[in-house]
Chains A and B, each alone.
Chain A
Amino acid sequence: MSTLTTNYLTPTGREEAWRFTPLNRLQGLHDLSITIADHPSLHCDEMPIGVTISSQPSLETPPSSSTDDVAALKARSASSTVTVLAIAPDAVINTPIFLKRESLGQISEASRVVIRAGNHSKATVVVENAGSAILSEDVEIILEPGASLTFITLQEWENDAIHLGRHHAIIGKDATFTSIVVTIGGSLVRLLPTVEYAGPGSSAEMLGLYFAGAGQHLEHRIHVDHNVGHAKSRVNYKGALSGESARTVWIGDVFIRAAAEATDTYELNRNLLLSDGARADSVPNLEIETGDIVGAGHASTTGRFDDEQLFYLQSRGIPEAEAKRLVIRGFFLEILSKIGIEAIEERIMGRIDNELSSVVIG
């Protein structure tokens, strides 16, 4: 803790990175003067051949990336152990690897996770978060050259959960990273899906789906660091909000460094406001230090239901509430269908339907 406190300060809420976050609800996860517990909270039912999971002393597995996120730094420093998931080189794992966290309880906990995808391996890792929790995590995902990894995190927390997380991928040469973030549960969730590149020919697709109900604060801060040339990124996050004080924050920072020639990037965020009293912030940032790129763009829209879509469906006999449900299901399907695991897609759609049933008339 000593090095932390000398170099970093507890956020006050005035910092750019924290200005949207209600710090008083964080149960001290961001507060450098408060100690939090170390909890190796991820577990798995079975591991396929070619995949190993182990708990290792943090000191023997130092972080592979740097960060200035105080909560992630605090989680690192509080974690004496790190959960390491390793996918063997050349292993092609056709069934998803499920990691779970359930009902961590009411004490503040830190978790460090490292996922290492070996050369030319191919796998899908799913982290399922459910129950109550006060959790701060630092996840590092390392894709070795040619690896292909889909990393899915499902935040299906109970309504009292507090969850801060940094999910940082380092994408090797010719490697392909897909991240799918689904955030539906939790009182306050603040995630940092971030990527950097370790070689050319690499690509990242970062997808997200969130639905904030009354009182929920769901924040996603994407950062794509195009630090090498000939790399690609696509970001597409879609969110819906309904209910009093439903709040979402989406930050999309894409940084194209001078060395990153032939970068190809596009980011998109769309929000649907389903009721009064909800607020969505959407801030795309594109910073370009080289003109020698393939493409760079961003788009952000926040709006209510499209009256013309609803009229079209209703004019075919479909009642208003069902028309709205169809439109919202359609809105999310683009992201949801990328999960590719039917049971999960149906479960998430079911949760969205549940959220809708309470709000859709209005």
Chain B
Amino acid sequence: MSTLDIKNLQVAVETEEGSKQILRGVDLTINSGETHAIMGPNGSGKSTLAYSIAGHPKYTITGGSVTLDGVDVLAMSVDERAKAGLFLAMQYPVEVPGVSVSNFLRTSVTAIRGEAPKVRTWVGEVKEAMAALSMDPAFAERNVNEGFSGGEKKRHEILQMELLKPKIAILDETDSGLDVDALRVVSEGVNRIKESNDLGIMLITHYTRILRYIQPDFVHVFSAGRIVEAGGPELANKLEENGYAEYVTA
């Protein structure tokens, strides 16, 4: 049982016009096995929340805390956060020319597990995980995210999640750019990993569409850098009907 505890998190980003406050006191607790949907309009700071927790250097923490099972996440380097059990599935996964998917996965898994996976079992493990996401085995020889379609990039993110077995995963707009078939495959992958690993999930999305495939236990409405309303799955239905208008005030 793991707990990601976010308390009064405040984050700023440096712009040409100076420091700009994005997160204005976020409070959120995610336990193993729970799925929390974070929903909100564009520009409300949802992605900033995701990247701040993962440790992107662009963001400056100006207040509050993030702990995983009581350990200070914000004091860790980016790779240490991953080793501690955090995973960020990115909205725009980055191309890494000249680095093959198989090399990348192996390097990553070796770092997370603390030892190189056994050659005998590793190939089968990757093949199985790829097959479960309907990925062509030839995919492993391509360069990381280079020339991938939107759907391929997202499957590749979920593939990594499957192999790295995090405690808490943050899925940043994993549904964006996916057609219905790809959305179904990716969602099934997320549900499968959640089942087998008792994964805690922060599911960031603009649309309710993905919530038909991944059932949230909690829904939080995000606006202007903080959570402005929280509820159960029924809150998503309300958002579906009414949109974000009532939360976006001038």
Contact = CB atoms under 8 A, between A and B. Distances in A.
Interface of A: 306-309, 311-320, 322-323, 326-327, 329-334
Contacts of A322: 107, 111
Contact of A318 (B55, B98, B111): B111
A315 B54 contact: yes
Contact of A330 (B81, B82, B97, B112): B97
Nearest to A329: B98
Contacts of A315: 54-55, 78-79, 81-82, 87-88, 90
Contacts of B160: 316
Contact of A312 (B77, B93, B112): B93
A133 B68 CA distance: 59
B98 A314 contact: no
B108 interface: yes
Contacts, number: 82
- The majority secondary structure among interface residues of chain A is helix
B90 A319 contact: no
Interface centre among A307, A316, A319, A334 (most CB of B within 10 A): A316
B98 A330 contact: yes
Contact of B96 (A312, A317, A332, A334): A312
A313 B144 CA distance: 10
A128 B184 CA distance: 55
Contacts of A307: 57-58
A299 to B, nearest CB: 15
Contacts of B56: 311
B164 interface: yes
Contacts of B90: 312, 315
A314 B82 contact: yes
B94 interface: yes
A319 B98 contact: no
B167 interface: no
Given A317-B83, A317-B112, A334-B97, A311 B107 contact: no
A311 B87 CA distance: 12
B79 A320 contact: yes
Given A311-B78, A318-B79, A320-B79, A333 B111 contact: no
Contact of A314 (B78, B95, B99): B78
A238 to B, nearest CB: 10
B8 interface: no
Interface in B149-183: 160, 164
A14 B112 CA distance: 56
9 contacts: A307-B57, A314-B55, A316-B108, A316-B164, A317-B112, A319-B77, A320-B77, A329-B99, A333-B98
Given A315-B78, A326-B103, 10 more contacts: A311-B54, A311-B57, A312-B96, A316-B79, A317-B164, A318-B108, A319-B79, A326-B96, A329-B99, A330-B98
Contacts of A313: 96, 104, 108
A282 B54 CA distance: 36
A313 B101 CA distance: 12
A326 B107 contact: yes
B176 to A, nearest CB: 17
Contact of B82 (A309, A316, A327, A332): A316
